[in-house]
Amino acid sequence: MRNKATKGLIMAMLITLAACAAQEAASWAVHDRNRPAPPVVTPGAESRLPPSDAVVLFDGTGLAAWQSAKDGSDARWKVENGYMEATSKAGDIQTRQAFGSCQLHIEWASPEVVAGSDQGRGNSGVFLMDKYEVQVLDCYENVTYADGQTAAIYGQKPPLVNVCRKPGQWQTYDIIFHAPKFDGQTVVRPATITVLHNGVLVQDHWEIQGTTLHKTPARYEPHAGTLPLRLQDHGNPVRFRNIWIRPLADEPN
Ligand code: MG
């Protein structure tokens, strides 16, 4: 009996020692010159312009990177003067390429001539992985429900502040998104999202509660791999320009 207990203790010590050794091997000394240097990336001429390792999704010249979300046909939004514009009844559009965790830069402008109110005023949306909507809406002196206003995670989380510019002016979203992880039907790790609206933090590494739904509490619908980025046609002529994305590792690092 005593022999068995001693053996068990030795095994536990060996396992602990092995774990410590593995941890040490994975860590680096302070200022260790053998530590691999990060890749070199050339920044855009202005910080809003795509760096050298970005996938450019729209540079103002055409919709080659986009297709109809409904049937995969060519995207039918209007392109002119360096922007694309949601065209009523043309439907949502989505990227031909699929993405998961990412850094996204996108610029948008609600119509200069104000029409409608509440959710009917400059409504569009940026759907990460086709499922998780960052709301686009003209909330400059426009009242609507908090979890549906500009930069809300629609139906889930209002933004920290309302930092909307006036109608017609260009606005920016910079988004860091980490995809959720599933084991079968179980959520192992929810998606997380950070959003800067016009350079101001409005979503702070928030855990998304599930797929965006209308008038229904969000819930996850498990998915695997990557999915397209989608832009919403909500019947309002919202414009977009300068869209680029950098795929990220699933684990924040
Ligand atoms: Mg919307």
* Residues of the chain where predicted confidence (pLDDT) is lower than 50: 1-2, 10, 13-22, 24
The pLDDT of residue 12 is 52
Q: Looking at domain 55-247, which of 2.30.40.10, 2.60.120.560, 2.20.25.90, 1.10.3720.10 is its CATH number?
A: 2.60.120.560
- Spatial separation of the C-alpha atoms in residues 87 and 85, rounded to whole Å: 6
Helix and strand numbers (H, E) in the chain are 1, 15
The pLDDT of residue 250 is 83
Domain boundaries, the chain: 55-247
Question: What is the whole-number distance in angstroms between the Cα of residue 47 and the centre of ligand 1?
Answer: 27
Question: What is the whole-number distance in angstroms between the Cα of residue 124 and the centre of ligand 1?
Answer: 4
Q: For residue 204, which amino acid is it? A: D
Q: For residue 21, which amino acid is it? A: A
Question: What is the whole-number distance in angstroms between the Cα of residue 179 and the centre of ligand 1?
Answer: 20
Strand pairing partners for 174? 105, 196
Query: Does the predicted model carry a pTM greater than 0.85?
Result: yes
Range list of H helices, 27-68: none
Strand ranges, E, within the chain: 55-58, 66-68, 78-80, 83-85, 93-99, 102-109, 124-128, 132-136, 171-178, 181-183, 186-189, 192-197, 200-207, 227-231, 239-247
> Could you read off the pLDDT of 195-216 as tens digits, one per residue?
999 999 999 999 999 999 888 8
Question: What is the whole-number distance in angstroms between the Cα of residue 236 and the centre of ligand 1?
Answer: 10
Question: What is the whole-number distance in angstroms between the Cα of residue 136 and the centre of ligand 1?
Answer: 6
Q: Are 29 and 55 in contact (CB under 8 A)?
A: no
3-state helix, strand, coil in the chain (%, to 5): 10, 35, 55
